Amino acid sequence: MTIEFKRDVCQNLSASLEKEWLETNGIGGYASSTILGANTRRYHGLLVAAIKPPLGRTLLLSKLEEFLCLDGKETPLSTNIYPGTIYPEGYKNLVRFSLNPFPAFDYSINGIHIKKTVFMVHGENTTVILYQVQKTSRVISTEFLKVRVMIAFRDYHSVTHENLSLKNDCKILTNGVCVQPYHTLPPLYLFHNAHSGDNASFWYKNMEYPKEIERGLEAHEDHFSPFALHFDLNKGTDCYIVASTKEYGKVDVFGLLNRETSRRENTCMAQSRHIKTAPTISTPFQKADEEERKKFTALVGSLLAASDSFIVKREDDKKSIIAGYHWFGDWGRDTMISLPGLTLVQGRFEDARKILLSYARYVDKGMIPNRFPDYGEHPEYNTVDASLWYIHAAYQYVLFTKDLKTIQKDLYGVLKEIVGYYEKGTRYNIHREADGLIYAGVEGEQLTWMDAKVGDWVVTPRKGKAVEINALWYNALKIMSFLAHEMNLPGESTGYDNLAGKVLKSFQEVFWYDEGQYLYDYIDGETRNSAIRPNQIFAVSLPYPMLSKTLQRRVVEVVKEYLLTPFGLRSLSPKDAGYIGHYCGNVYERDGAYHQGTVWAWLIGPYISAYAKAYAGEMDTVKYIKRLLLPFREHVSDAGLGTVSEIFDGDYPHIPRGCISQAWGVGEILRAYFEHVHGLENDYLNSKRILHTTGF
């Protein structure tokens, strides 16, 4: 899918500053900015290198200050934001921005057309900036492109200011320049084909980041410029700068461009082949109008392309999933929820296997890591649901791949360890109680996906027996029973199934809120929390539902009435006294709203799966599901281009917030589409060997 904006959008400052592009390199690094090239976040930059892949992200090259010089007159291409002013105003010369597949900027000045393309090299901390110049009407005796380099060299979460520690000497190479302002950070190589340069160095002071002002964080930064490059436009050659942590002996820019183009095309072709050859239940667009077909083709194409950005290398031979750009690393919960949509429905089975094996290395006391710190040595274990989602992801893997060998050889023991620790007890008072249900939580800790915490304030503690945790627990036991059966372990299969039956009976007895006709959110002793939250949807959406068809529909209808929006589910009903309809303000205010009404895009997937089960076989079910997905077609051209934002305001017009590109949002939309609209069929799921029964 090509995303394109012409002059009317590009030169509309307020509109264009909201549209952000993202390039990634498959090891956790990225390049990103707005379609104007004006950085509006501390996280924007042309080379954010993953020093310890996929983490250790460090902003090396912030941006390039670009001017077209004609007969002594400088005309800007770049744009910066300073307090109370925009300088320079290069956006006034930007006539087109496109994303297909790389971000490309088209400038037109006095009959000279300049196209700038930015892309990253897969597997390297390398960004290429290519300028291609065409003259259409005039000949200038003196014309050159002046590009001034601006660097930061800092952790991507922070900002930098003028300081005396910076070393401003540069090492001249045969094909470029090497700078290393701080000995604790790696050198930055800047390869280029400029004909001359300007060695003047100085600081750009007080650049302003509007998005950080919105977030209540430090929003002003200084950037150091060690030199400028001058490219002679009379020679008729394309101009380039290659920013990298790798020292190239020789740079073949078009070789790099062709290699990256081919890689993305091959990925797209492999996705298409898998999707076309996979069995389908229906052909949903045979009778659909052409406009609807085009919208779905565009949406799915965008999200398939975006999905590649999340899958990253971890260590030598394994993989993981970045939870979101710009500021998330690879989180265990997000990885396992995202895995089916980002890998399995696309036929990326080997990626899925490597991800599962990667996390198997880190299972400790029945828990997979919640997150890996950017610079720390040890993963953090502080989530109750991530390990249960791991079991679910392993189940989906074997259903799609039929690869029981990997389960038997590498994963079954890990899965047994998880279940065993949840039974006997592990960190944070996670344990099975006498009724078979899982209890989790201690004061001052947040263990479920509703995990916002500011200082000592846990916003949504949910200590006790949480509804989605016990739905995941029941599913984990049914999955273990299935896997044991497939591996000819009848005693273990029966044991897991018996415990699952006990969990199901207890769940139905204690979680149904008869007065409201929905499920309690959590139970702690005599406390029955009746807040209407989306967590109850998992009792219907997961492979093994826990309610009768009648009760499934009642849960779905309550969620639909109070929580459903065009971009996902609210985290709390607007009727609740604690509801907050806008996610904005400082850290305290934003985290206070994070799970108190804010819309989460990823939850549209479980909602669709729940609806598809509750209303299976009805004439309008697929048509309704299509309508739920179509708003995302417009959204992919709205904030993070070609992808899905993390969250949205609970109140209309549901402004996108949080990360511009979130893995589980993209993954769950793709999974829901391919399972319930495209009708991707699965031999195991349609086999009589798997009975998704509820006991009713």
Q: How far apart are CA 51 and CA 27, in angstroms?
A: 9
Q: Which residues of 321-335 are buried (b: 16+ CB within 10 A; e: fewer)?
A: bbbbbbebbbbbbbb
In a domain, residue 357? The reply is yes
Q: How far apart are CA 617 and CA 610, in angstroms?
A: 13
pTM for this one?
0.94
Q: What is 431-496 written as a DSSP string?
A: EE-TTS-EEB--TT---SS---EETTEESS---BEEHHHHHHHHHHHHHHHHHHHHTT-HHHHHHH
Q: Which whole-number Å values give the CA distances from 691 to 93, 394, 479, in the listed order?
A: 62, 18, 11
Q: Return the pLDDT at 696.
A: 27
Q: Nearest Cα to 351, choosing from 359, 360, 362, 342?
A: 342
Q: 115: exposed, middle or buried (C-beta count within 10 Å: 0-12, 13-18, 19+)?
A: middle
Same domain, 241 and 323: no
Same domain, 250 and 354: no
Same domain, 203 and 290: no
Same domain, 17 and 100: yes
Same domain, 515 and 395: yes
In a domain, residue 265? The reply is no
Tokens of residue 61, six digits: 């090259």
Q: For residue 543, how many C-alpha atoms fall within 13 Å in the half-sphere facing its CB?
A: 24
Q: How far apart are CA 515 and CA 57, in angstroms?
A: 51
Task: Give rounded-to-5 percent helix, strand, coil for the chain.
Answer: 35, 25, 40
Same domain, 374 and 436: yes
Q: How far apart are CA 187 and CA 153, in angstroms?
A: 9
Same domain, 92 and 138: yes
Q: Return the pLDDT at 684.
A: 40
Same domain, 290 and 235: no
In a domain, residue 270? The reply is no
Among 204, 228, 258, the domain boundary falls at 258
Q: How far apart are CA 39 and CA 50, in angstroms?
A: 20
Containing structural domain, residue 422: 278-676
In a domain, residue 696? The reply is no
Query: Is the Cβ–Cβ distance between 428 and 442 less than 8 Å?
Result: yes
AA letter at 77: L
Q: How far apart are CA 663 and CA 654, in angstroms?
A: 20
Same domain, 500 and 536: yes
Q: Position of tokens 């009975």?
A: 691
Same domain, 178 and 318: no
Q: How far apart are CA 382 and CA 449, in angstroms?
A: 11
Cis before 340 (ω within 30) = no
Residue 259 contacts by C-beta under 8 Å, 6 or more apart in sequence?
A: 121
Q: What is 59-109 written as a DSSP string?
A: EEEEEEEEEEEETTEEEE--EEEETTEEEEEGGGGEEEEEESSSEEEEEEE
- Number of domains the chain is built from: 2
**Domain containing residue 175: CATH number:** 2.70.98.40
Q: Return the pLDDT at 397.
A: 97
Among 213, 229, 258, the domain boundary falls at 258
Q: Return the pLDDT at 275.
A: 74
CA pseudo-torsion sign 158, 164, 166, 170: positive
Residue 56 contacts by C-beta under 8 Å, 6 or more apart in sequence?
A: 28, 50, 374, 375
Same domain, 207 and 287: no
Instruction: Tell me how far apart the 2 most distant CA atoms of the chain are, in Å.
Output: 87
AA letter at 468: E
Angle at Cα 220 formed by Cα 214 and Cα 223, nearest 5°? 140
End-to-end distance of the chain based on CA atoms, in angstroms? 46
Same domain, 306 and 225: no
In a domain, residue 573? The reply is yes
Q: Which residues of the chain have pLDDT under 50?
A: 281-284, 682-696
Number of Cβ within 10 Å of residue 499's Cβ equals: 20
**Domain containing residue 540: CATH number:** 1.50.10.10
Q: How far apart are CA 254 and CA 248, in angstroms?
A: 14
In a domain, residue 681? The reply is no
In a domain, residue 47? The reply is yes
Q: How far apart are CA 159 and CA 429, in angstroms?
A: 39
Which contacts of 66-69 are long-range, i.e. CB under 8 A and separated by 24 or more positions? Answer: 66/90, 66/116, 66/145, 66/146, 66/147, 66/148, 67/145, 67/146, 68/107, 68/109, 68/112, 68/114, 68/143, 68/145, 68/146, 69/142, 69/143, 69/144, 69/145, 69/146, 69/230
List strand residue ranges (DSSP E) for 296-404, in order: 311-314, 318-321, 324-325
In a domain, residue 159? The reply is yes
Q: Position of tokens 């990997």?
A: 406
